[in-house]
């Protein structure tokens, strides 16, 4: 059995056998850890697979002295946190769409036009930079980085 440090050294130079060894050694542990955090078998399987792909992709940046098991577990935790964050945002987005749909169904066209005028009037009172950012974000759909 090859020590982890040696496997990391071999992995850094692209040795696929070292990758296979690391997968064989840690796959079950990481899968169990991912399932315990996510409570979702298919998600855990995808996360572990994605983690090994990421590890191989960024293998040259791995430090020889790191604990590869610690590195893998930390990254599983990061993947799970990102998943939960995305899941929460999706729920919020779905609730927002449902709320807008309800408003659209229960609002007459004339009332809707009045609301649009009120919103546009409020937007026009904003400072120029705030107004520009709001328009780019909400009307044009740009993300913060693009703005």
pTM: 0.58
Two structure tokens written together for 36: 């315990």
* Best CA proximity match to 79, nearest among 107, 54, 116, 105: 54
Total Cβ atoms within 10 A of residue 68: 17
**pLDDT tens digits for 31-75?**
999 999 888 899 899 999 999 999 999 899 888 788 898 999 999
CA 128 – CA 35 distance, rounded (Å): 49
* List of residues 6+ apart from 93 with CB closer than 8 A: none
């Amino acid at each position: 059995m090859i020590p982890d440090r040696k496997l990391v050294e071999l992995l850094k130079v692209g040795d696929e056998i070292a990758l296979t060894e690391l997968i064989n050694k840690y796959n079950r542990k990481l899968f169990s850890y991912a399932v315990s955090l996510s409570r979702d078998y298919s998600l855990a399987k995808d996360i572990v697979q994605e983690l090994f792909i990421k590890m191989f992709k960024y293998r040259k940046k791995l430090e020889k002295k790191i604990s590869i098991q610690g590195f893998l577990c930390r990254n599983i935790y990061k993947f799970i946190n990102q998943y939960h964050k995305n899941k929460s945002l999706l729920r919020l987005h779905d609730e927002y769409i449902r709320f807008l749909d309800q408003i659209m169904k229960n609002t007459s066209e004339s009332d809707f036009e009045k609301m649009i005028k009120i919103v546009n009037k409020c937007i026009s009172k904003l400072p120029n930079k705030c107004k520009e950012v709001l328009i780019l974000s909400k009307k044009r759909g740009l993300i913060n980085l693009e703005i």
